[in-house]
Amino acid sequence: MSEIELVQLRLIRAEPLNCDTWTHFSRNHTNDLLIEKRKMSQGTVVLAYSGGLDTSCILVWLKEQGYDVIAYLADIGQDEDFEAAREKAQKLGAKKVYIEDLREEFVQDFIWPAVQANAVYEDRYLLGTSVARPCIARRQVEIARKEGAEYVSHGATGKGNDQIRFELTCYALYPEVKIIAPWRIPEFFNRFKGRTDLMEFAQAPWSMDANLMHISYESGILENPKSHAPADLYLMTKSPAESPDTPDVLEIEFRNGVPVKVSNLKDQTSKNSPLEIFSYLNLIGGKHGVGRIDIVENRFIGMKSREAADTMQTSIHGPRCDIYLHTVHRQSNTIYFKSIRYDSVKKKGFRDTS
């Protein structure tokens, strides 16, 4: 019997769920199927679903509350078994599952504008998570409108920036939408100590967020600033000690501030489309250990957070900055740095005029 079948069976029998089951619901959890029979549907909610532990718990909890759940997975370049995630969502009771390939529009509509704006938060972080969230939320709203859903939901916690990015994007594009944020609802978060509780159960030493732009790593053992990032942490970049001694020589052609062509002068490889260019630069950058960072960042709500990341797009930002300095008058630099910083807006999820 699979883990999902075991969870569903124990729910039907109203048996307590403990750490032997990956859903980790409380002892008085009641069968969601029985609850739906006892109450009218509360409406339809589109859940930004990752297939992971937290959003799987949220899916079941939303059904318990009487909602019809549409699970939506965005493919923005992460290494994910999407069909396995679809199957999991269906077994947990999702009414419908959308898997949307957003990679092309992610690069064209979100990454390239960040490159044009030299968006580097606190001079180090290239905003891989910040830029992705509005892309995900935009399609979530489109699905909600298409399905006639009046609710959307996400798995962002109440102490980070993601909740703001998701929700303000949704409100901007669908002003009448209602947002269900379980990690801010006591009935949900009282069943858990928080993400740490889920990570301990999943035996994960840190949490990750992955897309075309980066993989970021935080929480767990990384919470202690004295702890060095383990050698096996980084998944997209090689250690410089293990990188080739022979360089790849790349020529990047820019137009209007964004790359339009990349050529490898060593093996004559050439890429022209936005997605191909970005993916190829990731490949070459990762091969040579380009783009590893380990930082402590300031979050919008006032807390500091340590984060390590693979951010290979430094291979774009370096040449882009060189072109900027070659062509822009020195006084323009002063005006630019005194103006509203695009990186800060993207990081927070909105323009803060305070």
Residue for token digits 């949704």?
170
Choose the catalytic residue: 10, 56, 139, 162.
162
3-state SS assignment for residue 238: coil
- Could you tell me if 213 and 131 are in contact, meaning their C-beta atoms sit under 8 angstroms apart? yes
Told to judge if 279 belongs to the known catalytic residues of this protein, a careful annotator would answer: no
Residue for token digits 């964004």?
258
CA 305 to chain centroid: 16
Tokens of 23: 């859903």
DSSP state letter for 204: -
Choose the catalytic residue: 56, 207, 216, 315.
207
Q: Report the distance separating Cα 217 and Cα 132, nearest Å.
A: 16
Choose the catalytic residue: 10, 32, 50, 54.
54
Question: 7: part of which helix (H) or strand (E)?
Answer: helix 3-12
| Phi, psi dihedrals of residue 262, rounded to the nearest 5° | -130, 135
Residue for token digits 């679809």?
86
Q: Report the distance separating Cα 112 and Cα 131, nearest Å.
A: 10
| Phi, psi dihedrals of residue 304, rounded to the nearest 5° | -105, 150
Query: What percent of the residues of the chain are helix, what percent strand, and what percent coil, each to the nearest 5?
Result: 45, 20, 40
Told to judge if 162 belongs to the known catalytic residues of this protein, a careful annotator would answer: yes
Q: How many helices, marked H, and strands, marked E, lie in the chain?
A: 14, 12
- Could you tell me if 71 and 89 are in contact, meaning their C-beta atoms sit under 8 angstroms apart? yes
The CB density around residue 28, as the number of other CB atoms within 10 Å, is 9
Told to judge if 54 belongs to the known catalytic residues of this protein, a careful annotator would answer: yes
Tokens of 46: 């589109």
CA 264 to chain centroid: 30
Told to judge if 133 belongs to the known catalytic residues of this protein, a careful annotator would answer: yes
Choose the catalytic residue: 103, 133, 138, 195.
133
Q: Report the distance separating Cα 207 and Cα 163, nearest Å.
A: 17
Residues with a known catalytic role: 54, 133, 162, 207
